[in-house]
Chains A and B, each alone.
Chain A
Amino acid sequence: MSDRKPKLAVFKFASCDGCQLSLLDCETELLELAAVAEISYFLEASSRALPGPYDIALADGSITTEEDVRRIQEIRKQSKILVSIGACAVAGGIQALRNYTSVEEYARYVYPKPEYIRSLETSTPMSKHVEVDFELNGCPVNKNQLLEVVAAFLQGRRPNVAPYSQCVDCKIKGNICVMVAHGVPCLGPITHSGCGVLCPSFNRGCYSCFGPKETPNAPSLGNWFIQEMHVKPETVERALRSYYSGSDLMKTASEEFGAARQKFGLSPTPLHPKNE
């Protein structure tokens, strides 16, 4: 990048806005960031909307409309580096639960006049539509990791974001394992590091809002819940179908437990039975 300040752009798709808000939540670093990069497009924060091309584009949210398919393709063309930030952009988000059923039925449930609603059948990640240069996990993303990603691309290097499981972080932090010590089912073993192992630090099991870690074995963990902790299959199915329900891995694994539920015909139970 030459003498001019690199141009940073932030775009929003279907989301809660939390991931781009994470950037505004970097209160101490925000003005410093504005000093080294030109924030060219960030509607949540500024009325100034400069045209591309951009050096770095951050996009949060999932793709749920035809218009948004066109928009992400145009953003890709305009951006040297495109980073999808957050569970919605990386995996489709909680709204990808529609992928398991009919969006028409959803629209009929929520809206008196569903015919006014324009929405695709599925909620999909950016990577299903365009090539992305980096994916940052989390619902929401961790703001320190977000700053690392932006800093890395400004410096022309790969971001340093660990791909291992939550368990590694619990060991580093010195947390007592909630599963071993308290019998609380925890998705930490298959979940991507990054949040700072919040849930186990608050005596609850991880509910996987950072999505699958590298090479997870979700079926094995699910079977362990069922056999050793007497969790019902449909509870495992539901637990795997949440903030990353749109990821192929969670889809395949959860369907396995859905089949188990049909086989045994069991009644639903909560994921944290010991806490009831």
Chain B
Amino acid sequence: MSIQSKTSDSPSNRTIRVEALARVEGEGGLTVKMRDGAVESVQFNIFEPPRFFEAFLRGRHHTEVPDITSRICGICPIAYQMSAVHALEQALGIEVTPEIRALRRLIFCGEWIESHGLHIYMLHAPDFLGYEDAIEMSRKYPVQVTRGLELKKAGNDLMSAIGGREIHPINVRVGGFYKFPERRALEKMLDPLKRARDIAHETVQFVAMLDFPDYVQNYEFVSLSHPDEYPILEGKIATSRGLEIPAAEFPNHFEEYQVEWSHALQAKISARGAYFVGPSARYYLNEAKMPPGVRQAATSVGFSREDCRNPYKSIIVRSLETLFACEESIRILERYDDSVPERVGYRVKAGVGHGCSEAPRGLLYHRYEIEENGIIREARIIPPTSQNQKSIETDLFNVANRNALRPAGELAHRCAHVVRNYDPCISCATHMLQVILRSAG
């Protein structure tokens, strides 16, 4: 993170510019305008160059969509593949078998473990402990960093065992999978996952000991909600202010709009405005669906559902969700049967479908319109970071205001920490980050 500050500026009217934010996925920044010691306005800038996925998906065959959309994000490719296949399967009238659904949930657990492990240890923990990165942190906390890498590796290995590789897996298709991995090959993941579960327990204890700023907001939380399980793959879209709708009604209640300072569209709830997606939203809305072991782990560190309102504590929620994903993947693996058909057949027809899934960093919505020959006519993708942009700006405004008189470097670090609370995925949101503090003058 490089910070530019005009030394001539007084603390109350000044310019600080952080060219590119570190430890986030992608390229971005932010602009905070200060006047008379108070923050005048805040902009969260995403400079990641646009790649126009929705535009070039038109004219592609629907069977290519899961592979193409996974290229939006190297950290959460499975979420893209899953939202895509859900939307396409709805359009084509396909119902997959419980076994296919279980294997999809299993590979998704791998992505949660890998992505949360990366964010907790390599991107977020250094903020709390005052290090530039995990490598520097490993000198003081060698055991924790090594365990964190081991945790992340277990998630990646699970994804590779099912999907061929952890980045852009190749086994997911409309209607199911190309191949069900052999049971004895997948069983080899049981021991590493049990070890990962132990590390996840230690992680909950480790992150709960960090110092958290006293900052609480009354966000409107939004996540999937499922009658029987903690949401990963599917469910209704629920909010903490009582909205509950199927994925197909997403466009009726949520809208995207564009601001001049960002290459990512922002989103809001049409009736009210900013909202919050991601682990804290999921946990807030679905705590009761967490297995008893995870709830006990939360209680043991004094974490309650209301703590989700402190965005810094998202690191605790990620650790709890990692523990959950380890337990869930062990549960699915123990029941895994490789003797069932890997996919369901279907007839290609014209249709429209909506699909949602819970990417590690929050709700991911896809919509496709397919022509009768199986070619994509229209595509719409709304990633989690676009949806969180407005809440990120609100937090930045508040935190910059509280710290307005601090030295430039420290203020910039505090702002960057706020952004990292959200685990933003900037490549996703443009399908970036730059901290700029500008004087009002």
Q: Which residues of A contact B (CB under 8 A)?
A: 12-19, 21-22, 24-25, 27-28, 30-31, 34, 39, 42-49, 64-65, 68, 93-95, 97-98, 103, 105-107, 109-113, 116-117, 119, 123, 139-140, 195, 198-199, 201-204, 207, 209, 235, 238, 242-243, 267-272, 275-276
Contacts and interface: CB of A to CB of B under 8 A. Distances in A.
Contact of B55 (A28, A34, A110, A207): A110
A102 B321 CA distance: 43
A58 to B, nearest CB: 14
Contacts of A243: 71
Contacts of A95: 51-53, 56
B72 interface: yes
Contacts of B50: 64, 107, 110-111, 117, 119
Given A17-B75, A117-B50, A31 B167 contact: no
23 contacts: A16-B71, A27-B149, A31-B149, A43-B21, A43-B23, A45-B22, A45-B122, A45-B135, A47-B126, A47-B133, A65-B49, A95-B56, A106-B55, A107-B50, A110-B55, A123-B51, A140-B165, A140-B167, A199-B164, A242-B64, A268-B373, A268-B375, A271-B63
B168 A46 contact: no
A116 B258 CA distance: 9
Contacts of A116: 258-260
A199 B168 CA distance: 12
B23 A105 contact: no
A24 B122 contact: yes
Interface size grouping (class) on chain B: 35 or more
Nearest to A113: B258
Given A17-B427, A110-B55, A209-B168, A46 B23 contact: yes
A63 B179 CA distance: 36
Interface in B119-178: 122, 126, 132-136, 138, 145-146, 149-150, 152-153, 156, 164-168, 170-171, 173, 178
Given A17-B75, A49-B1, A25 B54 contact: no
A151 to B, nearest CB: 18
Contacts of B149: 27-28, 30-31
A40 to B, nearest CB: 12
B393 interface: no
Contact of B168 (A18, A28, A106, A271): A18
B20 interface: yes
Contacts of A93: 51, 71
Given A97-B56, A106-B56, A25 B167 contact: yes
Interface of B: 1-2, 20-27, 48-56, 58, 60-61, 63-64, 67-68, 71-75, 77, 118, 122, 126, 132-136, 138, 145-146, 149-150, 152-153, 156, 164-168, 170-171, 173, 178-179, 256-260, 263, 265, 345, 348, 373-375, 413, 416, 427, 431
A202 to B, nearest CB: 4
Given A109-B55, A111-B258, A113-B258, A25 B166 contact: yes
B23 A47 contact: yes
A9 to B, nearest CB: 13
B338 to A, nearest CB: 13
6 closest A-B pairs by CB: A18-B74, A46-B133, A106-B55, A198-B164, A95-B51, A106-B52
Given A110-B55, A111-B265, A140-B167, A45 B179 contact: no
A251 to B, nearest CB: 15
Contact of A110 (B1, B52, B134, B348): B52
Contacts of A94: 51, 53, 56, 68, 71
B63 A48 contact: no
